Amino acid sequence: MNKNNFTYLLAALLVMLLGIPLAHDLAVASAPLIRSLMFSLLLIIGIWSLRGGGRYFTVGMTFVVAGVLLNVLAVNIDSRILFFGSFAALFGFLLVAITFTLKQVAFSREITLNRLVGAVCVYLLLGTIWAIAYSLVDVVSPGSFTGFSPQDGRGWNSEWLYFSFVTMTTLGYGDISPVSATARTLAYMQAVLGQFYIAVLVAGLVGAYIARRQSETDN
């Protein structure tokens, strides 16, 4: 755990999760430019948390390089291939990051600050991955969701992040709703996974704490 500082990944995720909505509300720049910038920052900063991860770092770096290049091209060239390619690279990096981080969090027997930060990162990564999945479903099958603001149009925007985390926390405001079968399936799978993750995480942390106390008592 000491070799892998998940603070970098957490910082990158927070920059993206907070930056995209703020940029949207403040209208500081065009939406595609902001998304490209936030995605690139997530990739560039987040990869440092995978240092010392061997093949995870190598594969992650591949997705970082491909993602940054495709993001830059997608902003300047209107191409569905570049659009899906940039999302595929980001999706790939997120999968590598969540696999590596979850492995470190789940199999560590010590309760450290870095482990707690990693656990938070896994939760935020899950929400981000589902947000991307929702946006791609709506691109492939327009009308899969209802309740979006007319001015936002279709494609990726901050409302996908909002809907994803509202679903994962089972808040269920109802302002945005899945309509198609695929969208509904993704929604209930995310809700189940979100609750399951919290339950397993708490149980793991409590178990590690009890084991440590028991070890200290025996000694």
Mean pLDDT score of the chain: 82
Instruction: Give tens-digit pLDDT for 83-113.
Output: 788 888 888 999 999 999 888 887 766 777 8
Query: Within a domain: residue 111?
Result: yes
pLDDT at 156: 63
Residue 80 lies inside a defined structural domain of this protein: yes
The number of distinct structural domains making up the chain is: 1
Residue 32 is predicted with a pLDDT of 64
**CA 109, CA 218: separation in Å to the nearest integer?**
17
Looking at residue 2, its pLDDT comes to 46
* Residue 1 counted as domain residue: no
**Of 5-9, 95-99, 106-110, 136-140, where does mean pLDDT reach its minimum?**
106-110
Q: Which residues contact 153 (CB under 8 A, 6 or more apart)?
A: none
Q: Is residue 2 part of a domain?
A: no
In a domain, 159, yes or no: yes
CATH of the domain at 187: 1.10.287.70
| 170 found inside a domain | yes
Q: Domain limits at 62?
A: 7-218
Q: Which of 71, 27, 23, 66 is nearest to 47 (CA)?
A: 66
Give mean pLDDT, residues 162-177.
89
Q: Is the pLDDT of residue 153 over 80?
A: no
Model pLDDT for residues 10-37, shown as the tens digit of each residue: 998 998 888 888 877 776 655 666 777 7
pTM (global) more than 0.75: yes
Q: What is the pLDDT of residue 154?
A: 45
